Structure 1
Amino acid sequence: MTTPSARQAILDRVRAATRADANAYADIPRNYTRRGTLDTSARLRLMTERLLEYGAEVVESSTADLSAIIASQLQSSGRQTFVAPIATPSDWLAPNIHWKLDNDLSFDQIERCDGVLTASFAGVADSGTIVLHHLSTEGRRVLTLLPDFHLCILRASDVVETLPEYFARFTVAPRLATYISGPSATADIEMTRIKGVHGPRFLSVIIVRDDL
């Protein structure tokens, strides 16, 4: 008889302790706010206000003007070399920019880039949070950690008001999700705010509105 490993023994005990309560999960009271009350304009206005409070740059665009707005934002950033997910739409890849598409680039190659361009999965207006599920147009997580500048495309139709509404957008949890609330910054060390400790120092967001 094989003696179970310590890890397996712990997992068995957890399963035994939670099995009896599994059927009661649906009966747990959920008295918290699960759906927002803002209309589309107010929801997007709140999302923009939160992002600006965090120090991000925010511009709006119509679907038709998106390529031109992306090119304008990249040019105004003063940066020349950008990395992007391999599935990035070709019309997002503005001319006069040196592009590196992430076909398994090394960390060193990514770090040498001035910035990154990605899409996003959703936005949560209540907290001003952009969520990446690292799908084909959002890229690997490392892409949004190493470069100093992140230009993120957020569609207005993907902006919800509350966190529960974001979770309601999918039935299977993503293998990996990144939650971005403004440029990277921390004040953990002697209460001095330092930017870029665990991600880009600069965040620019283009909110794409189908109604413009």
Structure 2
Amino acid sequence: MATSLAAVNQLLASGRYHTILSIIKGFRNGVVYGSKIRFPHALVMTLLFKGGPIKDQVQAILEATYTHAKNLATFVFTYKTLTALLCEIESKPREYHSFIAAFIGGYLVFGKYNKINEQINLYLLSRVLYGLVRMFVEKGYIPSPPEGKTFPWFGAIIWGLVLWQFEHHQHTLQPSLQSSMSYLYHDSNKWDNFKNFLIYNR
């Protein structure tokens, strides 16, 4: 056993098969990271907002965790495999390889509609837009530094838009956001005794 472990360690340290091993480790990291992110989120959201038998709650938590981990691992595997192939074809890495590989992986993995993919895609959309603005500033397309403080305006516009949408076009928002906002802004208008005023919602 010790001899075989030493042989594996020697292979890993040698640098041989680095591309293939990095794809395998990327898949592993996708499983671990997806599980770490989704399990506590699913646990908290299920305990706070979903009723029903404990067995159904546990099943919902495990299914959400499995889906997130599987999809992230599959995407990492696909992305790393495709970037390696493109690099091999062109003899060196190029900037557009990452876009092509992620585009294909995104279509195959995160293009299948389910609640987990919807949440991940929406999470990334906000980060991408924010990152693009910063990139445009760095490249000089947007003046830098902008005059005055910009973050307060960013917060004001985002919150102004989302509450306007919620109050007047609620159906256009993601269901989980509708639920959260209903709890905060509409359910707080309803009570008829001390218990459902302060101790529980309804």
Query: More helix by proportion, 1 or 2?
Result: 2
Larger radius of gyration: 2
Q: Same fold, TM exceeding 0.5?
A: no
Shorter chain as denominator, the TM-score bin is: under 0.3
Larger RCO (CA within 8 A; separation ≥ 6) = 1
